[in-house]
Structure 1
Amino acid sequence: MSATSPVFVGMDLGTFKTSVASSVGYRDVLQTAVGWPRDHVARTMLGRDVVFGKDLVDHRLALDVVRPFEKGALKYIDGKAAGMSDALIQKHALATRLVIEYAVNLVRRDNANASVYGVIGVPSRASVKNKRFIMDAAAGAFDSVAVVSEPFTIAYGMNRLTDALVIDIGAGTIDICPIYGVYPAEDEQVTLPIGGDLIDEEFEARLKQKYPDAQFSRNMIREIKERFGFVHDVNETAVAELPVGGRPQKLDVTEPLKAACRTVVKPVVDAVRQMIARFDPEFQQRMRNNIVLGGGGSQLKGLDRMIEAGLSEYGGAKVTRVTDATYAGAVGALKLAMSMPADGWTRLKEKGTASKAAA
């Protein structure tokens, strides 16, 4: 690619992880988080002022770690509504900008002089204010940007552009989007303010109740969920090694894990039922038979079958998972970026901030 050719980037800016894919062949995934050294000793040990990626886990005790979109804050709900102070909102806004810049710099390190055009996925019902927040955070990294619904990027990447329903299960939100040949209207989409973070909290509470002497961190909880998470009733056993009084023991976490994972099932099924009921009856059947699960939560074992069972009395359903939950959104966003017409972009570098409504 010549130096004058733009680099196109698709970005799935998730609550817990951000994945990027680019037209120059680079792709990566990193935590949507920033770490600042807690004191001068940590700064000396780390040798830098800001920490990203794997080092956030390896050195978390020495860091003040900020997840800017925790529980959907700033990306879906207003910071004030999330109970954040002005100072905390500013800190999370800085963290958002730094994550985006770090991810884009990884992509363009061999194309430093090229313009960068990016499509960024956000929750389906993100407000204009939330989208503008993302655009402002992206102004230092992209020359032009388009902000679109996360489920739509998944559908676009899979060529599921008609007669489909996409359910994107992230850490902070679950987004449900009908696909019928055009970009869906905002009031046709649904964002549920629940997701993987809620499952983690519920699992942690239930695990403490069952094993009050066990010791574990939120990272350990998340790792157990990602390894064993399931919602179905068939025989399934989850055994995790956790310290009890400082001594590692193997504990059966099957029931608390299943109960926690199931907290998202009913809200998803209810939302899908209500959404499908609003469409033409002929389209309802086609939509039920073409439901796509995306996002990290799509990997919960048995979730596809539970959704199908929940829709059985409504005529049945066929639910499939994306083949690559990590990159499906980013790859779809990249595909959309590379076919975006000129009037679909919002210029950032010329004006310094977003100047028109997001897609």
Structure 2
Amino acid sequence: MSTTTTNPVFIGMDLGTFKTSVASSTGYRDVMQTAVGWPKDHLARTMLGRDLVFGKDLVDHRLALDVVRPFEKGALKYVDGKKAGMSDAQIKKHADATRLVVEYAVKMVNREAGRPSFGVIGVPARANMLNKKFILDAVDGVFESVAIVSEPFTIAYGMNRLTDTLVIDIGAGTIDICPLYGTYPDEKEQVTLPMGGDLVDEEFEKRLKAKYPNVQVSRNMIREIKERFGFVHDLNESATVQLPVDGKPMTFDITEPLKGACQTIVQPIVAAVREMIGKFDPEFQESLRHNIVLGGGGSQLKGLDRVIENSLKEYGGAKVTRVTDASFAGAVGALKLAMNMPKDGWTQLKKRK
């Protein structure tokens, strides 16, 4: 890395499938959708008064926009674009969307002209070199220098829990499970499950419409209901909401379809955790079980911590802790890492040389 760059703004970024959170050395924080919208036609362009739309406006004007979520279902960030069935044109558009989202986020954080941006970006634990190269290419010209690291590692780093800790990071597109034992984890020791909040949303919508065929609901409504009521435990829990039928609001008990949808990710998580602990050094298995950290948006599902603890009773018990701020835990950890990063830890990007 060049030593001529002075007074950079350090930025930690959790580049999530659905939301991107950023934290900077200037004290600024923000969270936004990992998406960009293009006006569908000239009328939409005239009404919006711009060529690109980000943030809250994506929801407010979504009917007038062609919205691209570049990492939907883990595509490009975890899954190779070709294997995901994407054409070259689609891959290019998603790459453009990635760059635009990162560029927008960095501009919101670093508003001082002339100050370079150094960023640490969190990606899924098992993202391969091809996926990391995609991220590097997309952010070239936005950051002066960058480091791509495992999302679970940034969470643990921010919490000072780098020893005998198991991090479960539940995002919209992937679930990452990573053991920490005082050194940067080997890729082979980490697990990325190709599922997350998006899968829960799809399953909830399917189950809801199977039970109430006439209900009218959008994916945004589905997501909001899940975030408000989502649970996985067996305690007496109920959820009722108002949803339209032919435009008329009606009250529905959505407890059963919501619980069933949320539970779709439980067994894969439990199975992966059991397998990972079983393969770990036997002298440290107990400490690992009693230092499990839940991060990401999915960590907020009510009862998930207790379900994981109960699933490990026969293994000697466990202690599961949620991050205090699911929105910013990864970004804050990435920022902390950026501010402590040695010079040889950075990748200098080509367009800024």
Q: TM-score, with normalisation over the residues of structure 2?
A: 0.98
> In structure 2, what is the equivalent of residue 175 of structure 1?
176
Which residue identity lines up with residue 106 of structure 1 in the other structure? Answer: M
Distance 2:287 2:42 in 1: 60
2:27 aligns with one of 11, 22, 25: 25
Q: Could you tell me how far apart the structure 1 residues matched to 2:25 and 2:200 are? A: 35
Aligned equivalents of 1:150, 1:60: Cα separation in 2: 29
Query: Structure 2 regions of 5+ residues with no counterpart?
Result: none
TM-fit CA distance, 1:245: 1.5
CA deviations on 1:68-117 (whole Å, 9 max, x unpaired) are: 000000000100111111111111000000000000000111x2211111
Deviations 1:273-309 (A, max 9, x none): 1111111112110000000000000000000000111
Contact 1:144/1:349 (CA < 8 Å) preserved in 2? no
Give 1:291's aligned residue. 292
Equivalent residue of 1:306, what SS?
A: helix
Q: Which residue pairs with 2:336 in the alignment?
A: 335
SS of 1:282 mapped into structure 2: coil
**Paired position in structure 1 for 2:232:** 231
Structure 1 match to 2:75: 73
CA distance in 1, matches of 2:322, 2:96: 34
Contact preservation (8 Å) 2:141, 2:351 = no
C-alpha distance in structure 2 between counterparts of 1:150 and 1:321, whole Å = 15
The amino acid across from 1:325 in the alignment is A
Inter-partner Cα distance in structure 2 for 1:350 and 1:180: 37
**Deviations along 1:182-225, whole A, 9 cap, x unmatched?**
00000000000000000000000000000000000000000000
Kept after mapping to 2: 8 A contact 1:142/1:349: no
Following superposition, the deviation at residue 351 of structure 1 comes to: 6.3
Q: CA deviation at 1:350?
A: 5.2
Aligned equivalent of 2:164? 163
| Aligned residue in 2 for 1:142 | 143
1:205 matched to 2:206: yes
CA deviation map 1:258-285 (0-9, x unaligned): 0000000000000001111111112110
- State the match for 1:52 in structure 2: 54
Question: Quick one: distance in 2 between partners of 1:91 and 1:216?
Answer: 28
Q: Note the C-alpha offset of 1:314.
A: 1.0
The aligned counterpart of 1:313 is: 314
In 1, Cα distance between the equivalents of 2:350 and 2:114? 14
Distance (whole Å) between structure 2 residues aligned to residue 121 and residue 217 of structure 1: 30
What amino acid maps onto 2:156 in structure 1? A
Query: Among 15, 18, 40, which residue is 2:17 paired with?
Result: 15
Number of equivalent positions: 349
Between the aligned partners of 1:313 and 1:85, the Cα distance in structure 2 is 48
Distance 1:11 1:29 in 2: 10
Partner of residue 356, structure 1:
none
Alpha-carbon distance in structure 2 between the residues aligned to 1:280 and 1:14 = 31
**Any conservation in 1 of the 2:172–2:198 contact (CA below 8 Å)?**
yes
Contact 2:17–2:173 under 8 Å retained in 1: yes
- Structure 1 residues not aligned, in runs of 5+: 353-359
Residue in 1 that maps onto 2:326: 325
- The residue aligned with 2:101 is 99
8 Å contact from structure 1 (residues 71, 172) kept in 2: yes
Aligned ranges 1:256-267 → 2 under 5 Å: 256-267=257-268
Letter in 2 for 1:345: W
Rounded Cα–Cα distance in structure 2 between residues aligned with 1:137 and 1:350 = 11
The structure 1 segments of at least 4 consecutive aligned residues displaced by more than 6 Å after TM superposition are none
Whole-angstrom CA distance in 1 between matches of 2:242 and 2:142: 42
Greater Cα offset, 289-298 or 82-91: 82-91
Distance in structure 1 (CA, Å) of the matches to 2:283 and 2:211: 48
- Given residue 123 of structure 1, which amino acid in structure 2 is its aligned partner? P
Task: Tell me what 1:277 maps to.
Answer: 278
Identity %: 77
Show the 5 A alignment for 1:117-136.
117-136=118-137
Partner of 1:357: none
Code of the aligned partner of 2:92: Q
TM-score, normalised by the number of residues in structure 1: 0.96
1:4 Cα offset (Å)? 4.3
What is aligned with 1:154?
A: 155
CA contact (8 A) 2:140 2:351 kept: no
1:246 to partner: Cα distance: 1.0
Alpha-carbon distance in structure 2 between the residues aligned to 1:310 and 1:244: 40
Give the distance between the partners of 2:141 and 2:32, measured in 1 at CA.
Answer: 19
Question: Is 1:41 matched up with 2:34?
Answer: no
